[in-house]
Amino acid sequence: METVKKKGKRFLILLLIAMLICGIPLEVRAGAVKESNIAQNGEAIQLEAADIKTESVMKELEQQNGMVLFSTGASPLAANARVELTYSRTIQYENFFTRNFRVKIDGKTKVAYCVQPKETPPAEGAHTAIDYNNKLMSKALYYSWGYPGYDRNTKQYVSKKDDDDDWADDDDAYALCHMILSYLYDKSSADSDAFYGVSSDTIKLVKQVADKIENDWPDAPTDSSLKLNYSSVKATWDAENQVQETPVFRLTAHSDNRIQIPLPKGVKIHRTRDGVTKTYGSERTIKVYGGDTFYFTADKSVRGTWKTGNLEGSLSSFNPYLIRVSGSQDILFCGTGETSNTSFSVTWVEWGKLTVKKLLEDGEKSIDLELDFYDGIQFQLTGNNVNIALKPDKNGNLIDSNGNTTLELLPGTYVLSETSVPDRYREKLQKEIIITAGEERKESLNNLVKKGNFRLLKVYKEDLQDNESIVFDREAGVVFRVWDADYYMAGWNFEDVPTMFKDEITTDQNGEAGTKDLPVGEYLVQQVTTDQNHWKVKDFFVDIEDKTTTTKPITVIGNKTTEVPVKFIKIDAETEKVVRIAGIQFQVYDREGNLIIQQDKKGNPVDTYVTDANGEAWMEAALPAGQYQVKEIKAPPGYALADEMVSFSVNSETQKGEVIEVRVADKPQKVELLLHKQAETFLPDPTYARFSYVEMAMPFVKFDVMAAEDIETGDGTIRLKKGSIAESDLLTDEQGSAQTKPLYPGKYVILEKGLYSKVKQYHLKETDLTNIVTNWQIALQDAGKKLPSQIEREAFETALSKPLEQEFKIDHEGNSFWEAPRVTGPEYSFDSIQEKILQDYLRDLPVEQIEEIWRELSLDRYDVPQDGIVAQVELKADEAAVEITRQELTIKNKLKKGGMKLTKTDLSDGRPIPNTGIRIYLEDQRTVIFEGRTDQDGILTIPELPIGHYYFQEYDAPSGYLIDENLYSFTIQEGIITKCQMTNQMQMGRIRIQKSGESYQIKDKKEYLYEKNEALAGAEFAVIAAENIYSPTGHLYVRKGATVERMVTNQKGQAETRPLHLGKYQIKEIKIPEGYVKAIDRLVELKPGEQNIEVVDVQVNIQNHRIKGGVEISKVDVSTKEPLPNTGIRILDERKQEILKGRTDKDGKLTFQKMPAGIYYFQEFDAPPNYQLNEEAHLFEIKEDGEIVRCEMTNKANPVVMGNTPQTGDGNKIGPLIGILLLSLIALFFAALTKRRDVEEWENQEVDQDK
């Protein structure tokens, strides 16, 4: 084992050495370095060896593969110029790899390259950099990645590498440039270290680019200057292209030198390079190289001056450096030379602005009536090389074709000319406008409207006859209004019309009147004043024309005598809307109270006017001017008869051709609804174990009355929309009644919202507490009771310190009362004396100490529909047309009920158990509300019980079953028959057996004495059905003759059956204890016991008698067979202990009786005289009860030799003893042999262990 361990250890050592010798991946080597020793320091990774062995492996790897694991101990050489060298990561391409170097010099980081791939890279940190003046290497560095010449020269070769060898990313470009520099550094040697591990294609590419650098491309620039031909320019407007444009810039600089121009928003650059012009959009940064030309364009929105600020050139003076460390790679990079910069600015075009407002003399009308008076007006703006068509918008602002109200114009002089104007205005307008840069010019132009007037002559009569003179009929002082017809048509009032468009004139003494000058157009003429007996002139229209071109003649106006048709309209007094019902009757009286009687078309007299289906009643003829009254004779259905007459006048204020409408208002009839609220109440009667339901007044129930349909009156008004609340929060009083406000007739529903309890809360003061406690003590003394203890008094006072409450109640007989006071705070119950003195005291408590509060109660126990609607009612108006009538409605809340169905079954077989007595209790588990018995199917049904929690209990079980007196809960849910299951366990029986035997004593070694006092174990019994065994429900469990159980008595002589079904059984002893006589079969009946006894026990005592027999021993002469009396013989038990003894009688016999069964011996202990003593013990056995074993024993006489006598046992046989001896010796031999082998085996094991 030790050898194997050594070999394994050597193998591992060799494997580790082989892994180190063969070279392992970088990731594996990293495992030799503890992770805790890896730290990030800038871009460089510093690794420290975890131990001496790892450090030696790392050094070996450094020497073989050129990979450097920098340590913190690296320090630069002392020098004048200091640079910081860092290494970020390894870059690998194909089998070639290099380090990605950076050098920080003068605060700037530059790309650096190693140029000796096979050498070990120098350590990170500070180093000395020396000037490097190799022209070819400087040129190659200029065209390397990270330097100016790369993008325009080397990059095109890198990016064109084959697709499967992509050199397009930065790391690959760095790797390629590293190869090129190393190749040139090795003087273009074909064996250059630069080609270590790369393909022939890559070598070809390196040589191709190196050749370009060496022979084709220009030297690295030494001049970094750059110059623009303009430092500032002004943009001009290109009207054709609608853009601003700058002069062309030219950048004079080396072709690799560039600037980057960030473009502002809205500005584009147009760059020309090698004869190709490209345009770039705004908000980008564009590169411009030496030799490029460019110019800018911008949209009109670009304003002000754009200054670029310093634009730094990309080229600096090229100054290569070399880091040279003994024994390490040379690192080549370029220093930070000076760069040049330039700048320029662009001033964009400046504009002036013009806004023009078009005003109209009649523009107010345009605004008032929302008329477009500007329609048809057009302008032309000319000058300064522009020709722009303009027109006013709806607000009068001149706009161009694009909808612009503000015009941007170049500075100069312009002419604004009105080219089109509507005919109502006098002339076209024109105006010269000067625009200044950077300023906004605001102008307005106003058009004047044409005007004219109107004149009239007023006479009394409309149609003068030939014999009537117009001179004498003229009417002075009549007022007329003349106003613009457009305002009239738009629904304006004369008073609101602007003054410019109206005039009010009054006729002079000659009956003449004339207006002021008004804008031309159509006007309405209205007569304002007239006498009572003549109509006003009907409104008429006139056209007012331009007075400068037209003269209007005077208009003559006359009046007609007043006579007016009258109709009566039935309206609702509340809404003033027409009641459109036929059959309403009216009569008319004049000022003196005379009934107006007219004639119909047939000449019949008419004094009553009846409404049609529109609710209108017309008089047969027009009424002349005068004062009248109308009286309602018959009201419409649903309305109260008007109790007052309505007055009306007929005069000239009524326009000619109009009808006087006399509106007679009736109040709609309403109905007050008196609600009576009753509740179905569950009334238990525990005395008789029954319950009933009674109807009781239900106080303090809150209702809403809601419209069940649209409640509409005769005027067509919907007073309540269907579903609207007519009255809310209607609360029944203490008698359960509530009355609504007057409601409109119609169909309503009553919504029950909540049930409340009215509570009086009493707030006692300190003096009240003292008085109540004193009254209590007095009441106790008067009642002959002992005074309260200090603890009892303090508890009473503590209870009184909390608010006391009394709740209003109504009993099932309708009697209302206040409950006894109770405590709101800690639990405390007042006794009857305390309740009495509290009720007496609280009755006189000041009102300010009593607070009446309401508590919402649950309606869950009542069958209130989910929508709350408990009743529907139709309110009907009284036929007598009385304004307010009353209806009554009784609403009954039914208790939510469910049913209960209890099924009583046998627990064992599930059969129904009839005639079981069941009680139902309330939730308090005390109040009995029902007693009943299950039917023949074992079912008890209660069809209706209020919802809630109840208990059921069995109070009487059928014969043969255990009573289950437990209380079982059940819940009644609305509309559901709750099914309850209850099982009964049958009473069972158990047979207990006490098995006894006999114990005995031997008296004076002469006889056995027996007594019953010993438990008998080991007796086995079979329990056999003595009849068919049925359950109380008639189910056959055991057939007659079937064995149901076997049992064996224990040490106490006891045995019992498992619980058995009640019935008759036979007990049969099937295994008898040794030495006993089998017991007789016993018949046992298991009968029902008391109902709470689960198992009825029947005790059966069974005694077994011992098997008893006797022995009769005859003693005879061996030769003569003569009996030998007085021979001493004893009886030995099975252990040959003496138990009985006696002597043969005269007949040579000795008898012993009642001996238990068993094996015995008899032996002679005293021989008759002259006989030899026979001491041999002779075996005999008693097996059967009552058995007498007869034995004979012979004796030989002295000295006569006795002959052979019968023997009861065997003689001395040595054969078996010799056999046993031989078997023993053989056994000992084999035992010794086995032990020897065991010893040898053990010794061999010991030897093996020693070895």
Instruction: Specify the pLDDT at position 44.
Output: 30
The pLDDT tens digits for 433-451 are: 999 988 999 999 888 899 9
Instruction: Specify the pLDDT at position 16.
Output: 40
966's tokens:
């437990």
Report yes or no: 689 and 600 within 8 Å, Cβ to Cβ. Answer: no
The arithmetic mean of pLDDT across residues 124-132, rounded, is: 81
Instruction: Specify the pLDDT at position 796.
Output: 86
E strands of 934-1081, at which residues? Answer: 939-946, 948-956, 968-972, 977-984, 988-1003, 1007-1015, 1020-1025, 1029-1030, 1036-1038, 1043-1048, 1054-1056, 1060-1061, 1063-1071
Measured between alpha carbons, how far is residue 1214 from residues 846, 1176, 1219, 1220 in Å? Answer: 130, 18, 9, 10
The pLDDT tens digits for 169-217 are: 788 888 889 888 888 888 887 677 778 788 888 888 899 999 999 999 9
Would you place residue 149 in the very low, low, confident or very high pLDDT band (cuts 50, 70, 90)?
confident
Report yes or no: 1177 and 1163 within 8 Å, Cβ to Cβ. Answer: yes
Residue 844's Cβ-count burial label (10 Å; 0-12, 13-18, 19+) is exposed
Percent of the chain with pLDDT strictly greater than 90: 43
Q: How far apart are CA 1170 and CA 1168, in angstroms?
A: 6
Instruction: Specify the pLDDT at position 524.
Output: 94
The arithmetic mean of pLDDT across residues 924-948, rounded, is: 94
SS3 241: coil
Q: How far apart are CA 1239 and CA 1243, in angstroms?
A: 6
Q: How far apart are CA 709 and CA 640, in angstroms?
A: 23
Measured between alpha carbons, how far is residue 1189 from residues 854, 1154, 1183 in Å? Answer: 108, 12, 9
Instruction: Specify the pLDDT at position 1181.
Output: 93
Measured between alpha carbons, how far is residue 10 from residues 4, 13, 57, 427, 1171 in Å? Answer: 10, 5, 19, 124, 107
pTM of structure: 0.43
Determine if residue 770 is left, alpha or beta; phi over 0 gives left, psi from -120 to 50 gives alpha, anything else beta.
alpha
867's tokens:
């929508």
Residue 51: is its pLDDT beyond 70?
no
Residue 132: is its pLDDT beyond 70?
yes
Instruction: Specify the pLDDT at position 122.
Output: 85
1130's tokens:
């004893």
Residue closest to 772 by CA, chosen among 747, 739, 796: 796
Report yes or no: 84 and 119 within 8 Å, Cβ to Cβ. Answer: no
Instruction: Specify the pLDDT at position 737.
Output: 93
Would you place residue 468 in the very low, low, confident or very high pLDDT band (cuts 50, 70, 90)?
low
Report yes or no: 1070 and 1147 within 8 Å, Cβ to Cβ. Answer: no
SS3 844: coil
The arithmetic mean of pLDDT across residues 58-73, rounded, is: 34
Report yes or no: 505 and 515 within 8 Å, Cβ to Cβ. Answer: yes
115's tokens:
């140029």
- Segment among 231-240, 413-422, 1088-1097, 1177-1186 with least mean pLDDT: 1088-1097
Report yes or no: 395 and 372 within 8 Å, Cβ to Cβ. Answer: no
896's tokens:
């939510």
Residue 363: is its pLDDT beyond 60?
yes
The pLDDT tens digits for 160-169 are: 544 444 455 7
The residue with greater pLDDT, 375 or 1219, is 375
Measured between alpha carbons, how far is residue 204 from residues 154, 161, 169, 201 in Å? Answer: 15, 11, 20, 5
Instruction: Specify the pLDDT at position 661.
Output: 92
Residue 148: is its pLDDT beyond 60?
yes
Report yes or no: 378 and 356 within 8 Å, Cβ to Cβ. Answer: no
Mean pLDDT of the chain, nearest integer: 83
The arithmetic mean of pLDDT across residues 506-518, rounded, is: 91
Report yes or no: 945 and 972 within 8 Å, Cβ to Cβ. Answer: yes
In order of start, what are the domains of the chain with their CATH numbers? 32-216 (no CATH), 226-317+339-347 (2.60.40), 352-447 (2.60.40.10), 452-468+482-491+501-547 (no CATH), 564-666 (2.60.40.10), 670-755+862-889 (2.60.40), 757-857 (no CATH), 897-984 (2.60.40.10), 988-1103 (2.60.40.10), 1108-1213 (2.60.40.10)
697's tokens:
């007044």
Report yes or no: 418 and 391 within 8 Å, Cβ to Cβ. Answer: no
Q: How far apart are CA 947 and CA 421, in angstroms?
A: 90
- DSSP string covering 592-606: TSPBP-EE-TTS-EE
Residue 464: is its pLDDT beyond 70?
no
Report yes or no: 118 and 312 within 8 Å, Cβ to Cβ. Answer: no
The arithmetic mean of pLDDT across residues 912-918, rounded, is: 94
For the ranges 139-153, 388-402, 1004-1018, the maximum mean pLDDT occurs at 388-402
927's tokens:
């109040």
Q: How far apart are CA 321 and CA 805, in angstroms?
A: 105
Instruction: Specify the pLDDT at position 337.
Output: 67
Torsion angle of the four alpha carbons 1025, 1027, 1032, 1035, in this order, in degrees rounded to the nearest 10: 80
Would you place residue 1200 in the very low, low, confident or very high pLDDT band (cuts 50, 70, 90)?
very low
The pLDDT tens digits for 227-284 are: 999 999 999 988 888 899 999 999 999 888 889 999 999 999 999 998 999 999 888 9
Residue corresponding to tokens 């602007």 = 498
989's tokens:
């029986």
Q: How far apart are CA 1251 and CA 1249, in angstroms?
A: 5
Strands 1188-1195 and 1108-1117: parallel
- DSSP string covering 1216-1228: HHHHHHHHHHHHH
Instruction: Specify the pLDDT at position 970.
Output: 96
Contacts (Cβ under 8 Å, ≥6 apart) of 648:
566, 627, 628, 629, 630, 660, 662
Q: How far apart are CA 1156 and CA 1014, in angstroms?
A: 15
Q: At what angle do helices 170-185 and 200-211 cross, to 10 degrees?
A: 70
The sign of the CA dihedral 393, 399, 402, 403 is negative
CA 577 to chain CA centroid, nearest Å: 53
Buried/exposed 357-373: b ≥16 CB within 10 Å, e otherwise: ebebbbbebbebeeeeb
Report yes or no: 463 and 537 within 8 Å, Cβ to Cβ. Answer: no
Percent of the chain with pLDDT strictly greater than 70: 86
CA 678 to chain CA centroid, nearest Å: 42
Q: How far apart are CA 502 and CA 487, in angstroms?
A: 10
Helix (H) or strand (E) holding 88: strand 82-93
Torsion angle of the four alpha carbons 1037, 1041, 1043, 1044, in this order, in degrees rounded to the nearest 10: 30
799's tokens:
């209870």
The pLDDT tens digits for 68-97 are: 322 223 333 333 467 888 887 888 778 777
Residue closest to 308 by CA, chosen among 408, 361, 232: 232
The pLDDT tens digits for 578-604 are: 999 999 999 999 999 999 999 999 999
Q: How far apart are CA 391 and CA 389, in angstroms?
A: 7
The pLDDT tens digits for 984-1042 are: 888 899 999 998 888 888 888 888 888 887 788 999 999 999 999 988 888 888 999 99
34's tokens:
């503890």
The arithmetic mean of pLDDT across residues 1116-1121, rounded, is: 90
Instruction: Specify the pLDDT at position 472.
Output: 59
Count CB neighbours of 930 within 10 A.
18
Give residue 1078's identity as a one-letter amino acid code: K
Angle, alpha carbons 762-765-766 (nearest 5°): 145
Q: How far apart are CA 330 and CA 134, in angstroms?
A: 14
| Side-chain-side CA neighbours of residue 757 (13 Å) | 16
Radius of gyration of the chain (CA): 69
Q: How far apart are CA 1127 and CA 138, in angstroms?
A: 157
Instruction: Specify the pLDDT at position 1231.
Output: 52
Measured between alpha carbons, how far is residue 418 from residues 9, 434, 436 in Å? Answer: 115, 17, 23
Give residue 871's identity as a one-letter amino acid code: A
The pLDDT tens digits for 759-781 are: 888 898 999 989 989 999 998 98
